[in-house]
Amino acid sequence: MSTDTLVDIYNSIADKLAVGDEKGAMETFRARFKELPADVQGAILTRPFIGTVREEAKRVESLVELEKEVIAGIKILEILKEELGKKAA
Amino acid sequence: MGEYLKKLIFEKKSEEKDDAPKLKDVVNNPLQQAILGEKLKERFEATYSGNPAHQDEQVAFQITELLRRFHKGEASARDLTILNDPTLRRSVAEESIRRAQEEEEKKERANQLRDGIRAEDIKAFGESHTEFAPYAGLLDDERMAEVLGEHLYNLMMKDDPDATDAWEALQRLGAARKELDNEEAHARVLVEKYRIDKDDYKALKAGHFTEKEYRELKEEREERAKELYEQYKSTRNWFVRMFSWTEIEAEKDADREMTAKMGAAGEKARSLARDRVYAQKGYLGQLWHKLTGGKSSGAEVRDIMSRIGNLEKSTAVTDFETYLPAFANVLGGIISKDEKLVSALGRESLDLGKVVVEKWDAPERKRSLSSKTEAEQKQRKTLNPKEYQQGYESWLRNPQTKRDLQARNITLNNLQPGQEDIVKDMYGEHFKTEQLGDVAERRRSMWDWFFEMLLNGFTSDMRSKLRIPANI
C-alpha cells in the first residue's frame, strides 16, 4: 500500500471528525478498513481485543463463583432431604 | 588493531611473516595475558559487584558485544584474553545458551498467543462486548483472528508490553474457562448422584439389590451426608441462608431498620422501591421455610440484605446481567429437583427455571427495560430543567470536559456550525450515566422484573395457598 493511500484514508476520516460528523467518520473507517495493511489493522484491533478478553475473563470467573455456590447448594439440599426423610420417618 | 588481528588470526596462519607477531605470542604470552587478564578481571569485578539491579544486564552486554566483535573478526588482543579465561569463557557460553533458550521460549509463547486467538471468540466478542462491538464485521471472523494473531505474534517477538498484556489476559480467560468446565462437570456428577439416590430404593424393590447391599449403600450415604453437614456448618453457605430465611417477625424488624436508615429526605422513593423488593424476597423465603423447615434469625436476614445491597452497588451492569439469570436458573433448578417442592407447587413448577431464563433472554424484556429507563430519564429531564441547565454549566467548567472537547477540536468560545449540538449530546450522555444513575435504574428494573417473573410462575392457586398478596 502506498503512503498516499494511507494519508488519503486518514484524511477522509479526520475531515469528518473535524466537523463533528462522527457517524460519517465511523462509516468511512468501516468502509476503508480492509484497505489498510494487516499490521495497521492488527494495531487498531489490539487494545479493544485485550480489554474485551479481560472483561470476558471477569465474566467467566463470576460464573465459576456462581457454579461453586450451586454445587454447595446441591450438597446442602442433599442434607436437607436426609433430615426431612428422618423427620418423616 | 582489529584489522591487524583479524588478518593475524584468520588469514596468516599458514603464511606467517617473520616480522609479524605470532598468534601464540599475542594470546599466550604469559606476561601479556596476565596483564590483560587482570585488567579485564578488575573491570569485570567492578561491574559484577556493582549495583545488583544492573549487573546481569551489564555483564550480558559486555559478553554479547565481545562475541559480536569476535565473530566479525574485530576482536582485540584483550578480547582474546577474555576468551582464554576459563571463567569468562564459561560465562560467554552460558550467556549464549541462555539467550538462545529465551529466544526459543519467546517464540513458543508468541506461537501460543497467535493460536489462542480464535475466530469463535472474535464472533462472540463482537456480539456481546461493548468495547469490541464497534469493530465487529470489519473483517470476517477468521481473518480478524488471523490479523490479530499475526500482529500479537510480532509484538511478542519485539518484547512489546501489549503482547504481554494480551498473553496474561488470554491465560486468565483460559484458566477461568477450564475452572468453569471443572465446576460444571462436578455439578453434573452431583446431580447424577442425586438422581441415583432416588433410584436406589426402586432398584431394591426391583430385586437389583439385596437387603444387605442396600443397607451398606445407605450407611455409606449417611456417612457422606454427615461430612457434608459438617462442611455446611463450617462454611455457613449463603445459598441455604437465602432460602432458609423467613421468620416474618425478623423480616419486619429488618425492614423497619432498613427503612429507618433510608428514611432521610430525598431517599423516600428509593426506600419504597427497596421495601417492595424485600417483601418479594420475604415471600420466596417464606415459601422455602414452609417446605424445608429452615430456621433464621434477624442477623441472617440483615446479612442477606447486605449481600444483595453489595450486588446492587456493583459497578458493572454486565456483572448483574450475568448473575441474575444464572441465579434464576439455579432457583428454578432447585425447585424442579426437590420432590417436596414440586408436589407442593404442582408439576408446572418443574419448568419454572427454564421459563425464567427464556423470558430473561427474550428481546421484549430487553426492549422493555431499555425503553422504561429512557422514558424515566426523559421525564426527569422535563421535570427538572433548571437542575439540568445548572448541571450542564457545571459540566462545561470541568477540566475533563475541556479535555474531551479539545480531543474533538471543539473550542467553546468559537463553536463551528453543528458543534453546539455535539456538545449538548455529550452532556446528555454524561447526564444519563453520571447524574441519573442509569446503572442503578437498570438494576432496580431487573430486580423488579426478576421477582415479578418468578412469582408469576406460580399459579393463582399457589399464590392463594401461600397467601401472596396480589400487589406483589
| B76 — pLDDT class (breaks 50, 70, 90) | low
Whether residues B394 and B357 share a domain: the answer is no
- With cell 549487573, the residue in question is B55
Give chain B's domain count: 3
Residue B2 has pLDDT above 60, yes or no: no
In a mutational test of the B interface, the residue from A26, A32, A79, A87 whose CB has the highest number of chain B CBs within 10 Å is: A79
Q: Which residues of A touch B334 (CB under 8 A)?
A: 73, 77
Residue B152 pLDDT: 95
Q: Are residues B289 and B424 in the same domain?
A: no
Backbone angles phi, psi at B361, to 5 degrees: -80, -10
Residue type present at position B140 = D
pLDDT value of position B420: 81
Q: Is B311 on the interface with A (CB under 8 A)?
A: no
CB B141 within 8 A of CB B123: yes
In sign, the C-alpha dihedral spanning B339, B345, B347, B353 is: negative
Which residues in chain A are closer than 8 Å to B416, comparing Cβ atoms? 19-20
Chain B interface test: which of A15, A21, A45, A68 (most B C-beta within 10 Å): A45
Q: Higher confidence at residue B139 or residue B234?
A: B139
**Residues B289 and B392 both lie in one domain:** no
Does B236 touch chain A if contact means CB atoms closer than 8 Å? Answer: no
Q: Which chain B residue shows the shortest CA-CA distance from A68?
A: B183
DSSP single-letter state for residue B135: G
In this structure, the answer to whether residues B230 and B361 fall within a common structural domain is yes
What is the per-residue pLDDT across B172-210, written as a single tens digit (0 to 9) for each?
999 998 888 787 777 666 655 555 555 555 555 566 556
Residue from the list A50, A72, A75 with its beta carbon closest to the beta carbon of B169: A50
What pLDDT score does B462 carry? Answer: 47
DSSP string, A25-69: HHHHHHHHGGGS-HHHHHHHHHHHHHHHHHHHHHHHHHHHHHHHH
Cβ neighbours of B125 in A, within 8 Å: 49, 52-53, 56
One domain, residues B461 and B431:
no
The answer to whether the CB atoms of A64 and B173 lie below 8 A apart is no
pLDDT of residue B405: 85
Tell me how far apart the alpha carbons of residues B404 and B433 are, in angstroms, rounded to a whole number. Answer: 16
> pLDDT tens digits for B85-140?
566 656 666 666 677 778 888 899 999 999 999 999 999 998 878 788 888 889 99
pLDDT at B56 exceeding the cut of 80: no
Residues B406 and B347 in one domain: no
Q: Which domain, by its residues, includes B215?
A: 184-367+446-465
| Whether residue B406 is found in the same domain as residue B451 | no
Residues in chain A: 89
**Per-residue pLDDT, B144:** 95
Q: Is the residue at B23 inside a domain? A: yes
Preferred mutation among B114, B132, B319 to probe A, highest tally of A CBs within 10 A: B132
Helix axes B141-157, B119-128, angle to 10 degrees: 110
Q: Per the structure block, which three cell numbers stand in for B48? A: 559484577
Q: Are residues B421 and B455 in the same domain?
A: no
Residues of B in contact with A62 (CB under 8 A): 319, 322-323
pLDDT computed for residue A33 by the predictor: 87
**Closest alpha carbon to A63 in B148, B173, B294, B408:** B173
Residue B165 lies in a domain: no
Instruction: Determine the average pLDDT of the residues in B252-273.
Output: 38
Does residue B375 or residue B141 have the better pLDDT? B141
Residue of B nearest to A53 (CA): B169
B190 touches chain A (CB under 8 A): yes
Q: Which residue of B has its CA nearest to A32?
A: B138
Instruction: Look at B293 and A87 and tell me if their CB atoms are within 8 Å.
Output: yes
Top-confidence residue, B1 or B340: B340
> Which of B32, B55, B84 is a domain's end point?
B84
* Window 67-126 of B, Cβ < 8 Å to A: 117, 121, 125
The answer to whether residues B291 and B398 belong to one domain is no
Given this model, what pLDDT does residue B165 score? 92
pLDDT of the residue at A82: 63
| pTM as predicted | 0.40
In a domain, residue B104? The reply is: no
Share of chain B above pLDDT 70, in %: 27
Chain A residues whose CB is inside 8 A of the B330 CB are 66, 69-70, 73
Q: What is the mean pLDDT of residues B138-146?
A: 94
Q: What is the DSSP letter of B267?
A: -
C-alpha cell at B316: 458493572
Say whether pLDDT at A29 is over 80: yes
Residue B145: which pLDDT band, with cuts at 50, 70 and 90? very high
Question: Which range is most confident: A24-38, A65-79, B24-38, B455-469?
Answer: A24-38
In the predicted structure, residue B392 carries a pLDDT above the cut 70: yes
What's the confidence (pLDDT) of residue B206?
61
Residues B301 and B385 in one domain: no
At B407-450, the pLDDT tens digits run 788 888 888 877 887 887 777 767 655 544 444 555 555 555 55
How far is Cα of residue B290 from the mean position of the Cα atoms in its chain?
Answer: 38
Q: According to the model, what pLDDT value does residue B141 have?
A: 93
Q: Do residues B327 and B188 both lie within one domain?
A: yes
pLDDT at B72 over 90: no
pLDDT, tens digit (0-9, with 9 covering 90-100), for A32-76 = 889 888 888 888 899 889 999 998 898 888 778 777 766 776 666
B202 assigned to some structural domain:
yes
Q: Can you tell me which residue has the cell 439385596?
A: B210
Is position B170 within any domain?
Answer: no
* φ and ψ of B118, to 5 deg: -110, 145
Mean pLDDT of A11-30: 84
Q: Is the pLDDT of residue B369 over 80?
A: no
Is B358 found in the same domain as B256?
yes
Q: What is the mean pLDDT of chain B?
A: 59
